[in-house]
């Protein structure tokens, strides 16, 4: 079974600085999708960024980018120019095809003003 591991239960960063959240996963598949979701106190899960495993180029969405290392099964999220509104729980997730998402345990990100 696929598993996703986030080894950092909590992270903090100064406003305007850069922070990297770690994620590793285990799968025997070659085609799959990886996601980072943000969950603010409102509980709503919001997609931050996604990566298709067949693409070598790392995905980027404005201040958010990933470092996807397929051989190492690593998928870290970099947040540049951190803003107060970035404070939330961040979940890394794996999906094979149009199936269920498998989530990591989450990382709580605090932004210090």
Partner 1 sequence: GAGVSQSPSNKVTEKGKDVELRCDPISGHTALYWYRQSLGQGLEFLIYFQGNSAPDKSGLPSDRFSAERTGGSVSTLTIQRTQQEDSAVYLCASSTTGVMETQYFGPGTRLLVL
Nearer to partner 1 by C-beta: 25 or 104? 104
Footprint on this chain of partner 1 (rule: CB under 8 A): 33, 35, 37, 42-47, 50, 52, 91, 97-106
- Of the pair 16, 40, the CB lying nearest partner 1 is at 40
In the numeric block, which tokens belong to residue 66? 């990933």
Minimum Å gap between C-beta 110 and partner 1 is 19
Indicate if the alpha-carbon torsion angle 11, 15, 20, 21 is positive or negative: positive
Nearer to partner 1, 67 or 103 (CB): 103
Tokens representing 89 are 């729980």
Tokens standing for residue 93: 């997730």
Q: Provide the minimum distance between the beta carbon of 37 and partner 1 in the complex, in angstroms, as a whole number.
A: 8
| Contacting residues for 31 by C-beta, under 8 A, at least 6 apart | 53, 54, 96, 97
Cβ contacts of 27 within 8 Å, gap of 6 or more: 2, 73, 94, 96
Nearer to partner 1, 99 or 110 (CB): 99
Residue with tokens 């803003």: 83
State in angstroms the smallest separation of the CB of 53 from partner 1: 11
To the nearest whole angstrom, how small is the minimum distance from the Cβ of residue 64 to partner 1?
A: 15
């Amino acid at each position: 079974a696929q598993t996703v591991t986030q080894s950092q239960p909590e992270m903090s960063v100064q406003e305007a600085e850069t922070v990297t959240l770690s994620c590793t996963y285990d799968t025997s598949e070659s085609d799959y999708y990886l996601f980072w979701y943000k969950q603010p106190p409102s509980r709503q899960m919001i997609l931050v960024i996604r990566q298709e495993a067949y693409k070598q180029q790392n995905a980027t969405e404005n201040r958010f980018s990933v470092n996807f290392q397929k051989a190492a099964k690593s998928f870290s999220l970099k947040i540049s120019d951190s803003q107060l509104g970035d404070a939330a729980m961040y979940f890394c997730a794996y999906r094979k095809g149009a199936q269920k998402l498998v989530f990591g345990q989450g990382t709580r990100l605090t932004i210090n003003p």
